[in-house]
């Protein structure tokens, strides 16, 4: 099987999180200035109010390591700005009680997100079917933005076919992340938004809106999500998506994502695993250029089996504040170091 040809892709994201105090959720408007905060290091990156949630807007980058450093800079800026006993809360889904709702402004009670489109209904609008002034749940998304880099004509063509790209994002990113992000709050979140196939088409490219903020737990997780996203883009750019689509039922993919069904997602993953691994390019020494490859797939499966709580015990904010470098600390390195050592130990 021929290998994929590599192209650079611009990565962006807008992950959300919450604030809390004394065990109660605080609307982001109670913590952040109306205009948001600008990163102390990267002046093109901000932390803004997005309904009850706060949202990171790090400057996009073709290098996931550099994007990770920018996210870390945002969290360091935020950690220095918050006062008293206010906490940054990385829960995926929270439930507001009447007291929590009563102190929110009318603006913050509204959902901050604009309507999405859905690749599985012909690109039609994916409507939110609840009244945010009454609906008590709020969820934190971890949306991925894909853009062009240095006006690459092939990637430009991919971005002009958002429904095609988003379907492949579901197969490679959304379904695989169900294996990792097993928080049951995803089921509630996807009753409202973040379902399989949801996307937007901002001026810079395509925004994939299916994932939660689970990958904010650690830089290796962020690295993994961007890695999977790169694969999805390159599969389409190389016109290899039909090979994978023939192996799976898109109905099973969407069901696994929307119901956060681990067993079904695992069945789906096994169907594409061999084909996907065989597409991964190698350098002149025969070493794979990507994180999950023939030599590391057993490590990835061990990582999935153990679950997130086993691997990531450090509080997320503490982790990001301490992160000084993204290179050689991403998901591939994590597999070869922490996961490999754990296999030897157990």
Please give the residue that has the higher pLDDT: either 94 or 208: 208
25-70, pLDDT tens digit by residue? 888 999 999 999 999 999 999 999 998 899 999 999 999 999 999 9
Residue 163 has pLDDT above 70, yes or no: yes
Query: Which CATH fold topology does 10-345 show?
Result: Creatine Kinase; Chain A, domain 2 (3.30.590)
Q: What does the pLDDT read at residue 106?
A: 62
Q: List the beta strands (DSSP E) in 110-252.
A: 116-118, 125-126, 137-139, 144-147, 198-200, 205-208
Strand pairing report for 198-200 and 205-208: antiparallel
Q: What does the pLDDT read at residue 102?
A: 60
Q: Which residue ranges make up each domain of the chain? A: 10-345
72-119, pLDDT tens digit by residue? 999 999 999 998 789 999 999 888 777 766 666 666 556 555 678 999
Per-residue buried b or exposed e for 30-44, using 16+ beta carbons within 10 Å of the residue's own CB = bbbeeeebebeebee
Structure-block tokens of residue 56: 């990171």
Q: What does the pLDDT read at residue 339?
A: 98
Percent of the chain with pLDDT over 90: 73
Q: List the beta strands (DSSP E) in the chain.
A: 10-13, 16-21, 24-26, 37-38, 46-50, 53-57, 86-89, 93-95, 116-118, 125-126, 137-139, 144-147, 198-200, 205-208
Enumerate residues 6+ apart whose C-beta is below 8 A from 146. Answer: 9, 10, 11, 12, 159, 165, 205, 206, 207, 208, 229, 233
Other CB atoms within a 10 A radius of the CB of residue 296 amount to 20
171-196, pLDDT tens digit by residue? 999 999 999 999 988 888 888 888 99
Q: What does the pLDDT read at residue 324?
A: 87
Reported as a pLDDT band with limits 50, 70 and 90, residue 138 is confident
Q: What does the pLDDT read at residue 51?
A: 87
Average pLDDT, the chain: 91
284-341, pLDDT tens digit by residue? 555 556 899 988 999 999 999 999 999 999 999 999 999 988 888 999 999 999 999 9
């Amino acid at each position: 099987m021929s290998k994929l040809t590599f192209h650079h892709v611009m990565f962006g994201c807008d992950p959300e999180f919450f604030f809390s105090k004394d065990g109660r959720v605080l609307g982001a408007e109670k913590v952040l200035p109306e205009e948001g905060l600008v990163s102390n290091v990267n002046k093109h990156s901000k932390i803004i109010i997005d309904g009850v949630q706060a949202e990171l807007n790090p400057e996009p980058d073709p290098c996931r390591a550099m994007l990770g450093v920018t996210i870390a800079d945002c969290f360091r800026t935020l950690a220095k700005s918050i006062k008293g006993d206010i906490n940054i809360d990385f829960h995926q889904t929270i439930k507001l009680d009447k007291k929590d709702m009563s102190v929110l402004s009318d603006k913050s009670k509204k959902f901050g997100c604009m309507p999405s489109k859905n690749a599985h209904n012909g690109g039609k609008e994916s409507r939110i079917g609840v009244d945010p002034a009454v609906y008590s749940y709020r969820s934190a998304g971890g949306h991925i933005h894909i853009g062009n880099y240095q006006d690459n004509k092939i990637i430009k063509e991919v971005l002009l076919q958002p429904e095609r790209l988003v379907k492949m994002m579901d197969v490679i990113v959304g379904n695989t992340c169900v294996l990792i992000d097993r928080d049951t709050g995803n089921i509630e979140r996807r009753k409202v938004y973040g379902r399989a196939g949801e996307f937007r088409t901002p001026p810079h490219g395509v925004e994939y809106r299916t994932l939660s903020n689970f990958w904010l737990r650690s830089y290796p997780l962020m690295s993994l999500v961007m890695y999977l996203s790169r694969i999805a883009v390159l599969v389409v750019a190389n016109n290899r998506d039909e090979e994978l689509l023939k192996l799976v039922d898109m109905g099973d993919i969407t069901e696994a994502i929307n119901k956060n069904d681990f067993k079904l997602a695992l069945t789906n993953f096994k169907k594409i695993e061999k084909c996907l691994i065989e597409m991964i390019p190698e350098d002149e020494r025969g070493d794979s250029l990507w994180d999950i490859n023939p030599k590391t797939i057993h490590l990835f499966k061990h990582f999935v089996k153990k679950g997130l709580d086993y691997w990531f015990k450090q509080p997320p904010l503490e982790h990001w504040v301490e992160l000084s470098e993204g290179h050689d600390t991403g998901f591939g390195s994590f597999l070869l170091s922490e996961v490999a050592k754990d296999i030897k130990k157990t």
